[in-house]
Structure 1
Amino acid sequence: MMKYISTRGGKEELTGAQAIIQGIAPNKGLYVPKEVPELPFAPGEMTGKTYQEIAYKIIGTFFDDYSEEEMHHCIDGAYDAKFEEKEIVPVTKAGDAFFLELYHGKTAAFKDMALSILPYLLTTATKKEHEDKKICILTATSGDTGKAALEGFADVAGTEIIVFFPNQGVSQVQERQMVTQEGENTHVFAIEGNFDDAQTGVKKIFNDAAFRDKLAGMGCKLSSANSINIGRLVPQVAYYVYGYIKLIERGVIADGDKINIVVPTGNFGNILAAYYAKQMGIPVAKLICASNKNRVLTDFIETGVYDINRDFYLTNSPSMDILISSNLERLLFHLSGDDGAEIKDLMGKLESDKKYHVSDKIRAGMKNFCGGFADVEMTNKAIGDMYKDNGYLMDTHTAVAYKVYEDYRAKTGDETPTLIASTASAYKFAESVAKSIGLDDEPDGFRYIDAVSKETGVRVPRGLKDLDKKEIRHNGVIEIPQMEETVENSVK
């Protein structure tokens, strides 16, 4: 049976269900598979299969403590008509790459791919483990995770969900999606800080043993919907495997041919999922990590030094406005040879010195990664050029990825077939997209949605229609030191 261990060492080994419930390890580490499992099939054997069939095998291989019946329940509940495309994840050729469209779920962002199934994985886990406490889902968001988690857990019995987002740090559409969320168990708060502040505050709450005990006395147990939860991360592996199979199906590659994968990322979870797909056996030549102006990951990949002593920028790709990339810890653990003591030391240095240097061994293990970044002007130009030349509409995050990919090709001449993770609908960032394709100014983000729709004819996702007319149900704004008190009051 697959076991999960902490990135910061220790003898604890958990089943998948136990790790999903726990969220984060008691020693502040993140749970990782003790061994990444091999692909349960040859990719060429799966051509013609549905997304659900492929996801069942991939997720089930990681979480083999779930019975076939339990896993089918999770898959069938997650990937259904709530997705606007029957195939769940279309793969679309545009320009010089293939776009893995991950945004056709209820909230129009890639987070739906994992957060549609996490509530099923978690509630199934609580039954398997005879957990009698209410599960309190605690989440920090840079824009998309919050809404997707709220949508997934709204009115799910035995749960409460609390989301913190940076005030003035998400798009108008993203904010309105969250603050209009329905559900008796949903709680949403803006914090006076950036995403790193929110994420650090959430981790601090998780690591406060006295507070955990206090909540336990109130009948609550903390868990997470952020990608620090292995139950959020593993489902993301499935879509990279699916993307590779679709390229075989379309004759772009033969089974066994290598591809490149480009991922716009801030917290490193989405590209880590691609790394796990590679470790399972998907032939990946290069994993290209695309950053915005907050280029901490680009610099780290180039130098082996992770340094957050730098300016923080608010950009038009806000889900990547992050300096502390939590999931990088998981990669470092694997590349260190599962050296929990080394990772604990590195994370301690990040906390105390705001920087760390990795070992030569870890740097050598990163040879398949390369990084690049695009600032706001580059991002907007990429959107405009792609639409003008190919009639294809990208959101700002996907545009960062495409620009970084184009730069990589120009530098290397590498013509390997490439999948780009397309992480959100263009309508979630309609103001930037509208201006990038030459449209006039509008009074607010919602009018920009109308203008882009009228100009392009691209369908507006159901979840974004008439969003400005929905009732605002959550209007709390708090200071960072109030986060713990806010959690306690929300679960009473």
Structure 2
Amino acid sequence: MSSKGENMVYQSTRGGEENVSPSLAIVQGLAKDGGLFVPQEMPKLEKSLEDYAELSYQDLAYEIMKLYLTDFTEEELRYCINSAYDDKFSTKEIAPVVKKGDSYYLELFHGRTLAFKDMALSILPYLMKVSCKKNQIQEKIVILTATSGDTGKAAMEGFCDVDGCEIIVFYPKDGVSPFQERQMRAQKGENTHVAAILGNFDDAQSGVKKIFSDKAYQEKLLEKGYRLSSANSINIGRLVPQIVYYVYAYCRLQKSGELKAGESLNASVPTGNFGNILAAYCAKGMGLPLGKLLCASNDNKVLTDFFRTGIYDKNRPFHVTTSPSMDILISSNLERLLYFAGENAEECKKLMEELKDKGKYRISEAMEKELKDFYSGYGKEAEGSHSIFQTYKETGYVLDPHTAVAKVVADHYAYEQGRRDKCLVVSTASPYKFSQTVLKALKEPVPQDVFEGIEALEKLWKEPIPAPVKEVEEGEIRHSTVCSVEDMEATVSHFLLS
């Protein structure tokens, strides 16, 4: 499909829906057959990287996103972009790239919740609002999402008090950092609802998917005037905005002379649900000169094993780590990659059924060959801590635990290759969100109180504490619901119907 003036349509990875408009795919979130929406063909970059390099983040976002969201008018799309990427971000660059030592760090944590999820979840409410209007949807949209730490707060921040929306977030009770939990429990907004579940993130994600697949329950909600949708990275409205920052980073490095025109740039991405690195894969498919995509896992290394063996097997111990947003054994967005690799909806459906029934699947040799863009690796807890310590010692730059894992895997890859290619390390969270873990890695005293830890880190690092941290510290605890995995549907009913 040409990207010039033609309509982009979407289809389910499992073959049950085709020719779905971009706006309807955003509203639905998940395809009716349980699959994920993918573009029927990958669009190509329309302008030169030199031309893109002259644009602001907002203007570049328009140039990239218009290729995917072809049923949005220019006025509608610019409204969404300009409403999202404004002074909610603490830097005009939105996603700055900084060079420290031999690495380039793409800082994606300058939004309201200090994590990369802000990059897409700041714009999703506006995309959803326009999409509902386009599709003449009258019901109130209920954003139902599971979080491993960052998505929940970013989604609630984005959808807080948005007309015609309610948002419900489930998070694992003991599976997020103290600061992340405080962020969610102090969330303002009359339309925000939060519940801790007695389980891990995969339990929360599976519970949400089960609710989405319960057609009788959805009919019940429709009768009451509610329509379910998703803010997880399974929503195409989450994935498309993430493509932008890879193009932006490359163009900035080329413009500054760090990269020659067309020079290959690797990207190391801390990976949990596979959305962030999938966006890099899409950017490369559009024509961006990215080299190897380094899929960085922590001790929950299900993706590392998958890329190395062709076998995805979630039947393994679940590890609670200091990089909680990566504590995932079912990486939902991998389904999109499987579809892109084989372009076979039937095969994709079969693999997903095997995952559901047996907890594992094996891909074909032909599909394995299509995954050559990826290198997989993982960083153990001790390696992540050492990376934080070493990076600070050598450069004065502080990494959060997730970015540290990406740096570890970038170092592993350089060692294996016997050379250090230019690499973009994707920095997904502010170190202030994980101050106690960072202080421990830096061999500094660790205060018991999370906010004392943040102040201690500021004294050491000399970077000002971001304003949203104070808001969380001073915020009133408003959410205290705890439920079992089995009671998630009942909890949704309680929030909406009682």
TM-score range, shorter chain: over 0.9
Q: Does 1:239 align with 2:245?
A: yes
| Shift, 1:11, TM fit | 4.6
Change in 2 beyond 3 A, CA 1:212/1:448? same
SS at match of 1:139: strand
Amino acid at match of 2:101: G
Identify which of 109, 118, 135 aligns with 1:112: 118
- Tell me the equivalent position of 2:3: none
Query: Which residue does the alignment assign to 2:412?
Result: 407
* Distance in 1 (alpha carbons) for counterparts of 2:130 and 2:446: 48
Single out whichever of 431-440 and 14-23 deviates more from structure 2: 431-440
SS in structure 1 of the partner of residue 42 of structure 2: coil
Q: Counterpart of 2:426?
A: 421
Within 2, Cα distance between the matches of 1:325 and 1:184?
A: 31
* RMSD value, Cα: 0.9
Stretch of structure 1 that moved more, 174-183 or 439-448:
439-448
Residue ranges of structure 2 left out of the alignment (5+ in a row): 1-6
Q: Say if 2:105 is the partner of 1:87.
A: no
- Once the two structures are TM-superposed, the CA of residue 256 in structure 1 deviates from its matched residue by 1.4
Which residue of structure 1 aligns with residue 468 of structure 2? 463
Residue 476 (structure 1) shift: 0.5
State the partner residue of 2:451: 446
Give the total of aligned pairs: 491
Query: Which residue identity is paired with 2:42?
Result: V
> Are 2:322 and 1:319 equivalent residues in the alignment?
no
CA distance in 1 between partners of 2:233 and 2:206 (Å): 14
Aligned to 1:133: 139
Q: Percent identity?
A: 52
1:153 and 2:169 matched? no
Matched AA of 1:9: G
CA distance in 2, matches of 1:445, 1:375: 24
Indicate yes or no: 2:293 matched with 1:293: no
Q: Which amino acid aligns with 2:16?
A: G
Aligned mates of 2:34, 2:16 — CA distance in 1: 11
2: distance between equivalents of 1:152 and 1:384? 34
Alignment-derived partner of residue 168 in structure 1: 174
TM-score by length of structure 1 reads: 0.99
Q: Provide, for residues 41-62 of structure 1, a one-character-per-residue CA deviation record: whole Å limited to 9, x for no partner.
A: 1112122321111111111111
Establish whether residue 360 from structure 1 lines up as the match of residue 365 from structure 2. Answer: yes
Match of 1:384 in 2: 389
Aligned residue for 1:289, secondary structure, equals: strand
Distance 2:104 2:184 in 1: 31
Greater CA deviation, 66-75 or 430-439? 430-439
1:415, 1:251 → 2: CA distance?
A: 18
In 1, Cα distance between equivalents of 2:126 and 2:393? 42
Letter in 2 for 1:55: A
Deviation at 1:10, TM superposition (A): 2.8
Question: What do the CA deviations read for 1:78-126 (whole angstroms, capped 9, x no partner)?
Answer: 0000000111111000122100000000000000000000000000001
- 1:198 deviates by 0.2
1:179 to 185, 189, 192: 185
Selected match of 2:271 from 254, 259, 265: 265
The reply to whether residue 370 of structure 1 matches residue 375 of structure 2 is: yes
Q: Is the 8 A contact 1:252 1:417 kept in 2?
A: no
Find out whether 1:199 has 2:205 as its counterpart: yes
* 8 A Cα contact 2:36 2:235, kept in partner: yes
Corresponding residue SS for 1:26: coil
Counterpart of 2:473 in structure 1: which amino acid? D
Measured in 2, the distance between the counterparts of 1:61 and 1:449 equals 41
Between the aligned partners of 2:156 and 2:203, the Cα distance in structure 1 is 20
Bigger mean CA deviation after superposition, 36-45 or 178-187: 36-45
5+ unaligned residues in a row in structure 1: which ranges?
none
CA apart distance, 1:440 = 0.5
CA drift of 1:469 comes to 2.8
Q: Is the Cα contact below 8 Å between 2:16 and 2:32 reproduced in 1?
A: no
- What TM-score do you get using the length of structure 2 for normalisation? 0.97
SS at match of 1:107: coil
Which whole-Å CA distance do the structure 2 matches of 1:456 and 1:422 have between them? 17
Between the aligned partners of 1:229 and 1:146, the Cα distance in structure 2 is: 14
**Using the alignment, how far apart are the partners of 2:419 and 2:87 within structure 1?**
39
